[in-house]
Amino acid sequence: MGKFIRLKKGFNINLAGKATPKVATIEQPETFAIKPTDFHGIYMPKVVVKEGDSVKAGSVLFHDKKHENIVFTAPVSGEVVEVKRGEKRKLLEVRILADKAVEYIQFDKYSVSDIVNLKREKAQEQLLKSGVWVNIVQRPFGVVADPNEKPKSIFISAFDSSPLAPDYNIVYKGQEHYFQAGVDILKKFTSGPVHVNVHSEREISPVFSQVKGAELNKFSGPHPSGCVGVQIHHLDPINKGDIVWTISPFGVIQIGKLFLNGIYDASKVIAVAGSEVKEPQYYATYTGASVKKFLANNLKQDHVRVVSGNVLTGTSIGTEGYVGFFDQLVTVIPEGDYFEFMGWLKPTVNKLSFHRAFGLLSFLNPKKEFVLDSNNRGEPRAFVQTGIFEKVTPIDILPTYLLKAIIAEDYDEMEALGIYEVIEEDLALCEFVDVSKHNVQSILREGIDLISNS
């Protein structure tokens, strides 16, 4: 039996430009890209294809230099057109010009009953070889899972509470048996339970409600209740030495497809939303799609910021960038590089604030959908402890103390204050509400890098 956990702390950011529940069919993007920067914990990706090579969906593009069996594969078939590198030849993306029809590398195919009897080693081999493995994220630290580890439990967050989040009823519609097969495969990797966590006040997709062999837990409360780190903290917290794995429903379904159909199927439904999108809606495409086609003639203005992912944890990719590996949402908001006369003093109803300090009146209208831009809204300052971080962090962790320990590079303190339990997304709201405008998520990642390399 699953648990029911009520969370009170947090904040729902209600943005304008929600995707209408309809999956549009448009011409597929011409190019797709896989970015090693979407993953943490890989050491020097080594590219194994050259520009001009032709690849199939599931062909290896690059692998981790330390763990050569962790490979990153092509989402679609086509020609490798660019291996883009940045400073110090750091690998940024591998771009593929897609074929009209996707050709797949054939992996082993299993029936539902075969899956039950499949050995862990065999399943692991296929997951690694196909590149589906990298969907599995390991905690602590939110890194690509280590195949040699045995997690104490596996967590799947089956709802997204972030701003403009895609509706899982739409993006995973009709994937029940793939999800079930994925869960059956994952169960082989842990002696503990597989947790599937849903929100008590939302319509639960049959993809999740009908799953067998997993614990179905219910959560209530505002964002970040959908962050898997928050859920782990309340169900089975991570202590020093513990390993747990997390995986998105997309990853679970991709595992199911790999074993039932024998292919690396990167098809996914993404939402293109945000206040600057003319027709916010869903599109069927593949992992790593170029956003160009989705935004063509679909933007209200030119001066925009295109974000892969949600506005709290996403990455700005520009109008010609590529959707991140783990993202199912593209958000377009206005760019905020303007001065505002008396911006710090003027009363405002149009700027969202979790605070109620003088003149911040957004709380009077909780149902309003806000158009928010990328302006920093003030200058960076020293930490002034207003107790606001604690109000948006529904876990028993003191964010300010943790952040200060990281800045001081105090390893013992970081450990004692709970750095094993959080990754960026869990504290993303702190970054939003911070009066002193710290880049909380980058600070946290610095700390994680320090302690995981120590």
Partner 1 sequence: MKFLRDTLDKAKHNFEKGGKYHKFYYVFEALDTFHFSPNTVTPATGAQIRDAVDLKRLMMTVVIAMIPCLAFGVWNVGYQHFLALGQSASAGDIITVGLIQVLPIVLVAYVAGGLVEAVFAIFRKHPINEGFLVTGMLIPLVMPPDIPLWQVAVASIFAVVIAKEAFGGTGMNILNVALTARAFLYFAYPLNISGEVWTYLPSGAKTVAGYSGATPLAVAAQASTEGESVVQAFNSFGAGWADNLYSFSNMFFGFMPGCIGETSTLMCLIGAFILITTGVGSWKIIAGVFLGAWGMGAFLNLIAVNEFMAMPAHYHLVIGGLAFGAVFMATDPVTATQTEAGKWVYGLLIGLLTVLIRVFNPAYPEGIMLAILFMNVMAPLIDYVVVSANKKRRLSRATV
- Which residues 254-293 are close enough to bind partner 1 by CB under 8 A? none
Is residue 411 a contact residue for partner 1 (CB under 8 A)?
Answer: no
Q: How far is the CB of 188 from partner 1 (least distance, A)?
A: 24
Choose between 198 and 428: whose C-beta lies nearer to partner 1: 428
Is residue 143 a contact residue for partner 1 (CB under 8 A)?
Answer: no
Binding partner 1 (rule: CB under 8 A), the pick from 205, 228, 400, 403 is: 400
Taking each helix axis as running N to C, give the angle between helix 440-452 and helix 399-407, from 0 to 180 degrees, rounded to the nearest 10. 60
Q: How far is the CB of 33 from partner 1 (least distance, A)?
A: 16
Is residue 14 a contact residue for partner 1 (CB under 8 A)?
Answer: no
The one segment of 24-32, 97-105, 189-197, 367-375 that binds partner 1 by CB under 8 A: 367-375
Peptide bond into 366 cis (omega under 30): no
Is residue 192 a contact residue for partner 1 (CB under 8 A)?
Answer: no
Ramachandran bin of 185, using left for φ above 0, alpha for ψ from -120 to 50, beta for the remaining angles? alpha
What are the CA-CA distances from residue 423 to residues 138, 197, 292, 337, 443 (Å)? 11, 18, 30, 29, 11
DSSP lists the bridge partners of residue 31 as 97
Is residue 383 a contact residue for partner 1 (CB under 8 A)?
Answer: yes
Q: How far is the CB of 401 from partner 1 (least distance, A)?
A: 6
The one segment of 56-64, 120-128, 179-187, 382-390 that binds partner 1 by CB under 8 A: 382-390
Distance of CA 65 to the CA centre of its chain: 24
DSSP lists the bridge partners of residue 330 as 272, 308
Q: How far is the CB of 423 from partner 1 (least distance, A)?
A: 12
Binding partner 1 (rule: CB under 8 A), the pick from 68, 381, 408, 409 is: 381
Is residue 7 a contact residue for partner 1 (CB under 8 A)?
Answer: no
What's the CA angle centered on 418, arms 414 and 423, to 5 degrees? 95
Choose between 375 and 452: whose C-beta lies nearer to partner 1: 375
Residue 22 and residue 182: Cα distance in Å, rounded?
26
Instruction: List, in order, residues 6 or more apart from 185 with CB less than 8 Å away.
Output: 115, 118, 123, 127, 255, 256, 259
Q: Is 317 exposed, middle or buried (0-12, 13-18, 19+ CB in 10 A)?
A: buried
Q: How far is the CB of 434 from partner 1 (least distance, A)?
A: 7
The one segment of 22-30, 71-79, 111-119, 236-244 that binds partner 1 by CB under 8 A: 236-244
Residues 301-320 that bind partner 1 (CB under 8 A): 305, 307, 311-316
DSSP lists the bridge partners of residue 337 as none
Binding partner 1 (rule: CB under 8 A), the pick from 250, 431, 447, 448 is: 431
Q: How far is the CB of 7 from partner 1 (least distance, A)?
A: 17
* Phi, psi of 413, deg, nearest 5: -65, -45
Is residue 339 a contact residue for partner 1 (CB under 8 A)?
Answer: yes
Is residue 102 a contact residue for partner 1 (CB under 8 A)?
Answer: no
Is residue 78 a contact residue for partner 1 (CB under 8 A)?
Answer: no
Binding partner 1 (rule: CB under 8 A), the pick from 19, 323, 372, 403 is: 372
Choose between 23 and 326: whose C-beta lies nearer to partner 1: 326
**Of the candidates 8, 6, 10, 14, which has an alpha carbon nearest to the alpha carbon of residue 310?**
14
Give the tokens for residue 95: 């771009």
